[in-house]
């Protein structure tokens, strides 16, 4: 899944993949090797492409505050679900599948309801984070394929939309 | 004449309350702090021996409530009041009320505050006693011919409200065709900010520098100076970096400017701490105003002289006289103070707010932090947005600048935007290093306030750090057996 990180108004697609002994960061058309050398609460000792990087951080909701290399940075985390829903709004995509394993916290609409792009459809909890899945385009809810409280695996069909007739 | 202070009420808050309490406690003086509920739990409220709660519609209103604060001092049995800076520190009526109640006001007499608080009278007093003043026209002297006389002075001109301070209502006129219009606007601003539309106009010094002299008097005509401070790095007429000694003064000019300050204070029979401010340009200096209180930037003077200025204030207030003679004052090395503000330099230095999720000032040799904040506190718009003063002391100016730049890079504040990077860019600039910063420099160089673009390798470091700080990204990555599992998206 591609998460978004907003830095100074530019949203960067970011993606971490596992590599032996660390992670590979895919972002901004580049790649970097990240090795975690140590961490305590609010502190990370990293090596990024072999260069040491001491990071102080604090997270408040979707806001990320960082200090590294003698400077402060303020970023905003964009969840993958919300991003896909909005980014693909022009496409006639029919259904949303679970981006990761989780639990349905709340369902906001019933089958047959008309929704506009951006309307909340359901709230899921995954990785200790609540995420609202929103209508990615105008349409009618064909079906909500999961019930409140249900757990689901990655790729489970969550909700489908049809064109407004 | 001597009258010891045994219990001191601090009529202030924040870092200056901490500063005063620290010295009082070292001297064995009991401390009482007045405190609005917004400040409960602040470092000063924790340090003070006693707290008296202040009522107030707003926090600022509470600390300006002279009657309530005086009543608190009497109730607590304090024998003296230290006003700090701001709030009631230059309120002559408050100083008078404190004295009349039989308490010691740690500062000059009410009459002195009154004289120096009126820019027109203060200027006339300075001129009468041989202190250089800028060629000027005062409206009060001849209202009918005020504009014509101002025009005759010639451009550039500075138009100021007589009752002003802090740069409010000040206007620079370079094009004399606009003089009438600028005068009308300054008058309207003066009336709005100070309830007094009277103006004065003086010759404006191009690329002016702000140099001030710290003086102390015993009220008996004995006055000494503790050297100068240069405070030319200003944004919107407010100081953000101060240093001593000034990088621009020759020994001869330094001696003349310090002597002028002493002459003024001596003529006034000045008591306690005061600062005489001058505008300096092209080897000339003019009297600007005298501040009848401890200055925000007093620590740079403390660092180079090794003296405790709050201790001096308390000893003089207790009638002990001046602790030293002029010849005993020594200055050692170079000191710079950098004011850390909760503000956004790239958005016109607008104040910012937020929680101090992390507040971790630098430490080390020659590094001093004066602050009224601790981690976990919230920065609100209720009070002044100054978070801390970073004070650097080093053997010479160049190493003080290096040390300042290092300390700024180590200062970590997360949760609220600050001017730390801007101060680093300014302090490290070639203009600052070569001592060429004048009071209009920051406004004339807006690029210093813009955050640099983050690109290439630096961008990858920031994004990588952010990804590693987010548990969800790492957990997701650890769940992926191969990169291919994630290709192709997750939605039909």
A94/A152 same-domain check: yes
Per residue in A1-14, pLDDT (tens digit) is 679 999 988 999 99
Reduce the secondary structure of chain A to three states and give it as a string.
Answer: CCEEEEECCEEEEEEEEEECCEEEEEECCEEEEEEEEEEECCEEEEEECCEEEEEEEEEECCEEEEEECCEEEEEEEECHHHHHHHHCCCCCCCEEECCCCEEEEEECCCCCCEECCCCEEEEEEECCEEEEEECCCCEEEEEECCCCCCEECCCCEEEEEECCC
Q: Is B360 on the interface with A (CB under 8 A)?
A: yes
Distance CA B160, CA B167 (A): 8
Q: Is B376 on the interface with A (CB under 8 A)?
A: no
What's the CATH code of the domain at A134? 2.40.50.100
A98/A157 same-domain check: yes
**Which has more confidence, B29 or A83?**
B29
User: Which among B454, B470, B474 has the least Cβ separation from residue A77?
Assistant: B470
DSSP B422: H
A69/A88 same-domain check: no
| ipTM passes above 0.90 | no
Tell me which of A78, A94, A113 is where a domain ends: A78
User: Which among A27, A95, A97 has the least Cβ separation from residue B463?
Assistant: A27
Residue of B452, B455, B466 to mutate for A, most A C-beta atoms under 10 A: B466
Whether A83 has a pLDDT exceeding 70, the answer reads no
Per residue in B59-112, pLDDT (tens digit) is 999 999 999 999 999 999 999 999 999 999 999 999 999 999 999 999 999 999
Residue of A35, A54, A73 to mutate for B, most B C-beta atoms under 10 A: A73
Is residue A123 classed exposed, middle or buried when 0-12, 13-18 and 19+ CB atoms within 10 A define those classes? middle
pLDDT of residue A101: 75
Question: Residue A44 and residue B469: Cβ atoms within 8 Å?
Answer: yes
Per residue in A112-145, pLDDT (tens digit) is 899 887 788 888 877 666 777 888 778 899 889 8
Q: Is B165 on the interface with A (CB under 8 A)?
A: no
Q: Residue B414 in contact with residue A58, Cβ under 8 Å?
A: yes
To the nearest whole number, what is the mean pLDDT of chain A? 85
Gap between the terminal Cα atoms of chain A = 32
What SS3 class is residue B53? Answer: strand
pLDDT above 70 covers what percent of chain A? 88
Whether A86 has a pLDDT exceeding 70, the answer reads no
Rounded mean pLDDT of B6-31? 98
Picking from A97, A122, A93, A109, the residue whose alpha carbon sits closest to that of residue A1 is A97
To the nearest whole number, what is the mean pLDDT of chain B? 93
pLDDT of residue B485: 39
pLDDT of residue B131: 97
Whether B419 has a pLDDT exceeding 90, the answer reads yes
DSSP B296: T
Q: Is B305 on the interface with A (CB under 8 A)?
A: no
pLDDT-derived band at A149, boundaries 50, 70, 90? confident
Can you give the length of chain A in residues? Answer: 165
Whether B164 has a pLDDT exceeding 80, the answer reads no
What SS3 class is residue B133? Answer: coil
R_g (Cα) of chain A, nearest Å: 19
Residues of A in contact with B469 (CB under 8 A): 44, 55, 57, 59, 64, 66
Question: Residue A44 and residue B468: Cβ atoms within 8 Å?
Answer: yes
What's the CATH code of the domain at A71? 3.30.700.30
* Helix and strand totals (H; E) in chain B: 18, 23
Picking from B382, B380, B383, B387, the residue whose alpha carbon sits closest to that of residue B353 is B380
Picking from A61, A37, A80, A15, the residue whose alpha carbon sits closest to that of residue B464 is A15
Gap between the terminal Cα atoms of chain B = 90
A69/A85 same-domain check: no
A128/A153 same-domain check: yes
pLDDT of residue B237: 82
Q: Determine if residue B304 is left, alpha or beta; phi over 0 gives left, psi from -120 to 50 gives alpha, anything else beta.
A: alpha
Task: Count the domains in chain A.
Answer: 2
Per residue in B210-254, pLDDT (tens digit) is 999 999 999 999 999 999 999 999 998 899 999 999 999 999 999
pLDDT-derived band at A89, boundaries 50, 70, 90? very low
A93/A61 same-domain check: no
A89/A129 same-domain check: yes
Tell me which of A78, A95, A123 is where a domain ends: A78
Tell me which of A59, A78, A97 is where a domain ends: A78
Q: How many angstroms separate the Cα of A151 from the Cα of each of A130, A146, B137, B476? A: 14, 8, 81, 17
Q: Determine if residue B302 is left, alpha or beta; phi over 0 gives left, psi from -120 to 50 gives alpha, anything else beta.
A: alpha
Rounded mean pLDDT of B195-217? 91
- Within 462-491 of B, beta carbons closer than 8 Å to A belong to 462-478, 480, 483, 486, 489-491
A86/A74 same-domain check: no
A74/A85 same-domain check: no
pLDDT above 70 covers what percent of chain B? 97
pLDDT of residue A85: 45
Hey, what are B352's tokens?
């910012």
Is residue A149 classed exposed, middle or buried when 0-12, 13-18 and 19+ CB atoms within 10 A define those classes? exposed
Distance of alpha carbon B476 from the chain centroid:
50
User: Which among B420, B454, B486 has the least Cβ separation from residue A7?
Assistant: B454
DSSP B450: S
Picking from B355, B425, B449, B454, the residue whose alpha carbon sits closest to that of residue A75 is B454
pLDDT-derived band at A98, boundaries 50, 70, 90? confident
pLDDT of residue B477: 86
DSSP B103: P
Question: Residue A34 and residue B473: Cβ atoms within 8 Å?
Answer: no
Rounded mean pLDDT of B378-397? 95
A95/A150 same-domain check: yes
Is residue A21 classed exposed, middle or buried when 0-12, 13-18 and 19+ CB atoms within 10 A define those classes? exposed
What SS3 class is residue B30? Answer: strand
Note down the domain range covering A22.
Answer: 3-78
Per residue in A48-58, pLDDT (tens digit) is 999 999 999 99
pLDDT-derived band at B488, boundaries 50, 70, 90? very low
Whether B490 has a pLDDT exceeding 50, the answer reads no
A62/A93 same-domain check: no
pLDDT-derived band at A156, boundaries 50, 70, 90? confident
pLDDT-derived band at B165, boundaries 50, 70, 90? low
Can you give the length of chain B in residues? Answer: 492
Residue with tokens 């961008």: B459
Whether A104 has a pLDDT exceeding 70, the answer reads yes
Min Cα distance B483 → chain A (Å) is 6
Contacts (Cβ under 8 Å, ≥6 apart) of B36? B13, B53, B54, B56, B59, B62, B63
Whether B486 has a pLDDT exceeding 50, the answer reads no
A70/A121 same-domain check: no
Picking from B205, B213, B354, B338, the residue whose alpha carbon sits closest to that of residue B277 is B213
For chain B, list the domains and their CATH numbers: 7-106 (3.40.50.20), 135-203 (3.30.1490.20), 209-449 (3.30.470.20), 456-486 (no CATH)
* Other residues' Cβ atoms within 10 Å of the Cβ of residue A124: 25
């Amino acid at each position: 899944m591609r998460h978004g990180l907003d830095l100074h108004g530019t949203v960067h697609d970011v993606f971490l993949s596992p590599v032996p002994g660390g992670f590979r960061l895919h972002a901004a058309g580049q790649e970097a090797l990240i090795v975690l050398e140590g961490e305590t609460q609010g502190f990370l000792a990293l090596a990024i492409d072999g260069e040491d990087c001491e990071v102080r951080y604090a997270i408040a909701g979707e806001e990320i505050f960082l200090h590294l290399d003698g400077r402060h940075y303020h970023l905003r985390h964009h969840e993958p679900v919300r991003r896909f829903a909005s980014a693909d709004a022009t496409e006639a995509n029919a259904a949303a599948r679970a981006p990761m394993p989780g639990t349905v916290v709340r369902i906001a609409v019933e089958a047959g309801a008309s929704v506009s792009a951006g309307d909340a459809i359901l709230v899921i909890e995954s990785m200790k984070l609540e995420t609202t899945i929103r209508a990615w385009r105008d349409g009618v809810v064909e079906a909500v394929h999961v019930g409140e409280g249900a757990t689901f695996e990655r790729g489970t069909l969550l909700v489908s939309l049809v064109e407004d007739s | 004449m001597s009258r010891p202070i045994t219990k001191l009420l601090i009529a202030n808050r924040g870092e200056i309350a901490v500063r005063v309490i620290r010295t009082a406690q070292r001297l064995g003086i009991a401390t009482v702090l007045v405190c609005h509920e917004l400040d409960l739990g602040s470092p000063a409220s924790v340090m003070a021996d006693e707290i008296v709660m202040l009522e107030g519609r707003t926090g600022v209103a509470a600390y300006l409530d002279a009657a309530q604060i005086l009543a608190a001092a009497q109730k607590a049995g304090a024998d003296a009041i230290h006003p700090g800076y701001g709030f009631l520190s230059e309120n002559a009526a408050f100083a008078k009320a404190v004295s009349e109640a039989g308490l010691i006001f740690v500062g000059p007499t009410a009459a002195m505050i009154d004289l120096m608080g009126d820019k027109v009278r203060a200027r006339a007093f300075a001129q009468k006693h041989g202190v250089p003043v800028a060629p000027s026209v005062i409206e009060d002297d001849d209202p009918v011919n005020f504009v014509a006389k101002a025009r005759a002075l010639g451009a550039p001109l500075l138009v100021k409200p007589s009752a002003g301070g802090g740069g409010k209502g000040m206007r620079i006129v370079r094009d004399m065709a606009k003089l009438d219009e600028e005068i009308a606007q300054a008058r309207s601003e003066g009336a709005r900010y100070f309830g007094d539309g009277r103006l004065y106009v003086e010759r404006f010094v191009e690329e002016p520098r702000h140099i001030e002299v710290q003086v102390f008097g015993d009220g008996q005509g004995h006055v000494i100076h503790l050297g100068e401070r240069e405070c030319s790095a200003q944004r919107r007429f407010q100081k953000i970096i101060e240093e001593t000694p000034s990088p621009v003064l020759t020994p001869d000019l330094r001696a003349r400017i310090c002597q002028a300050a002493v002459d003024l204070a001596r003529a006034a029979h000045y008591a306690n701490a005061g600062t005489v401010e001058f505008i300096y340009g092209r080897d000339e200096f003019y009297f600007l105003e005298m501040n009848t209180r401890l200055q925000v930037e007093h620590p740079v003077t403390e660092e180079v002289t090794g003296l405790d200025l709050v201790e001096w204030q308390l000893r003089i207030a207790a009638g002990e006289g001046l602790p030293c003679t002029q010849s005993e004052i020594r200055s050692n090395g170079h000191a710079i103070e950098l004011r850390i503000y909760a503000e956004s330099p790239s958005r016109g230095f607008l104040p910012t707010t937020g929680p101090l999720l992390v507040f971790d000032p630098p430490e080390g040799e020659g590094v001093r932090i004066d602050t009224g904040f601790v981690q976990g506190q919230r920065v609100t718009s209720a009070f002044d947005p100054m978070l801390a003063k970073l004070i650097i002391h080093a053997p010479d100016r160049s190493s003080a600048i290096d040390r300042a730049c290092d300390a700024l890079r180590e200062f970590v504040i997360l949760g609220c935007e600050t001017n730390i990077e801007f101060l680093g860019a300014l302090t490290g600039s070639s203009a600052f290093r070569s001592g060429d910063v004048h009071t209009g420099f920051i406004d004339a160089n807006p690029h210093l306030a813009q955050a640099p673009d983050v690109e290439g390798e630096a961008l990858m470091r920031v994004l990588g750090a952010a990804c590693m700080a987010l548990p969800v990204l790492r957990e997701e990555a650890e769940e992926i057996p191969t990169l291919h599992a994630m290709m192709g998206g997750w939605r039909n």
